[in-house]
Amino acid sequence: MKFTDLETPALLLDRHRLNANLARMHDKASAHGVALRPHMKTAKSADIARLATVGQPGGITVSTLKEAAYFIAHGFADITYAVGIAVGKLDRVAALQQDGARVTVLTDNVDVARGIAARAEATGARFDVLIEVDTGDHRAGVAPDSSTLMEIAAILDRAAGIDLRGVLTHAGHSYDCRSIEDLAAVAEAERAGAVLAAERLRAAGMACPVVSVGSTPTAVHARDLSGVSEIRPGVYMFNDVFQASIGACTLADVAVSVLATVTGHHPERGEILIDAGGLALSKDRSTAAGPHDVGYGWVIGPDGTALPELQVVRVSQEHGVVAAAPGAGALPLAALPPGTHIRVLPNHACMTAAAYDCYHVVEGGEVVATWPRINGW
């Protein structure tokens, strides 16, 4: 099938770009002697997880327990749930582990650590746990040099039924960087903080085999991964306009796009209407903070070719308004009559992909596969 025969809006995945993105990160991990534990929060697809773990140990990262259940059902047995656990979710974790899979959980909280220990003792369940370390993102995690780190570690280390596996950090503040040097510096802070935390645990007699770091920008630009055991990037599989804007990829590496149809012309306002709006593109505006704001997405031709720069400048639920970027000249109305297909490169692939239940995998102008993805909790 030609992808222009798809109902719109539809989510396209360029197979060549996906494969190139996967290969690049695989090679990066290999070059540094670390495992790649890809974060499946972006793709949420078993087909893509299989491709992303080729030549790797096979462990993956997830952002919800629904993802964990889905990937276990598709044969993945080593899963890190990289969002702080709530004690009330531990029974579901235990149930997921009943057929032999391991779902490693994390916390940055003394009370939660006590709660995990208590739940293991009360139910006889076993839990693998990582301590989340804050290496500058200031979202979650304890400071690597804090007493809280050692307090949590002591609770987990002495509890029956708990395997304290190590430490995990996510340098989400790499998203605030605006140069490659900045990204490399954040990557080094991420590495150094995680390694410091691990060394403190080891000095206290804990084995700490896992030293887990990762965000796509830091994984791409890290120059040294000494002491790290694994990296956990996710969005690198698809990339997006925001990743390109901070130098984590180029626009030519963006593998996902939304196929849309022109539904109307408003030349009096220099605007074209498309059938992809706030739900089809997401309301993510991450490029707004950077030097090149692309609105709700960067518009390209149906075959992936560039157009004079067009942006989705406004959205409502199912409407997108396309206009020329500032300074980009006139809108090519004659080239885009109603019924024409265009593609939109998203600001943030994780948010955009979440509106769809499948990927239409394209090679040239053909849909060569349809891969389901999951959503929700």
Binding region for a copy of itself (CB under 8 A): 7-10, 41, 63-65, 83-89, 92, 107-109, 111-112, 115, 138-140, 172, 261-266, 269, 273, 275, 278-280, 282-285, 314, 316-319, 321, 337-339, 350-351, 354-357, 375-377
Q: How far is the CB of 317 from a copy of itself (least distance, A)?
A: 6
- Is 305 or 317 the residue whose CB approaches a copy of itself more closely? 317
Q: How far is the CB of 263 from a copy of itself (least distance, A)?
A: 4
- Is 51 or 313 the residue whose CB approaches a copy of itself more closely? 313
- Is 18 or 83 the residue whose CB approaches a copy of itself more closely? 83
Q: How far is the CB of 31 from a copy of itself (least distance, A)?
A: 28
The backbone torsions φ and ψ at residue 311, rounded to the nearest 5 degrees and listed phi first, read -130, 155
344 touches 260 (CB < 8 A)? yes
Strand residues in the chain grouped as ranges (E): 10-14, 35-36, 60-62, 78-81, 102-107, 127-133, 162-169, 210-213, 230-231, 256-266, 271-274, 298-300, 310-315, 320-324, 341-345, 358-363, 366-372
Q: How far is the CB of 377 from a copy of itself (least distance, A)?
A: 6
- Is 54 or 118 the residue whose CB approaches a copy of itself more closely? 118
Q: Is the dihedral of CA 232, 237, 238, 240 positive or negative?
A: positive
Buried b (16+ CB within 10 A) or exposed e, 247-258: bbbeeebbbbbb
Q: How far is the CB of 265 from a copy of itself (least distance, A)?
A: 6
Q: How far is the CB of 371 from a copy of itself (least distance, A)?
A: 15
Distances (CA, A) of 228 to 2, 103, 269: 45, 20, 54
Q: At what angle do helices 147-158 and 110-123 cross, to 10 degrees?
A: 0
Q: At what angle do helices 180-203 and 147-158 cross, to 10 degrees?
A: 50
- Is 67 or 230 the residue whose CB approaches a copy of itself more closely? 67
62 touches 38 (CB < 8 A)? no
Q: How far is the CB of 32 from a copy of itself (least distance, A)?
A: 25
- Is 229 or 257 the residue whose CB approaches a copy of itself more closely? 257
Q: How far is the CB of 275 from a copy of itself (least distance, A)?
A: 6
Q: What CA–CA distance (Å, rounded) separates 153 from 122? A: 20
- Is 58 or 84 the residue whose CB approaches a copy of itself more closely? 84
- Is 33 or 337 the residue whose CB approaches a copy of itself more closely? 337
Buried b (16+ CB within 10 A) or exposed e, 346-359: bbbbbbbbbbbeeb
Q: How far is the CB of 55 from a copy of itself (least distance, A)?
A: 27
- Is 140 or 294 the residue whose CB approaches a copy of itself more closely? 140
Q: What CA–CA distance (Å, rounded) separates 175 from 235? A: 12
The backbone torsions φ and ψ at residue 143, rounded to the nearest 5 degrees and listed phi first, read -65, 140
Distances (CA, A) of 59 to 79, 94, 195, 226, 233: 6, 18, 21, 20, 13
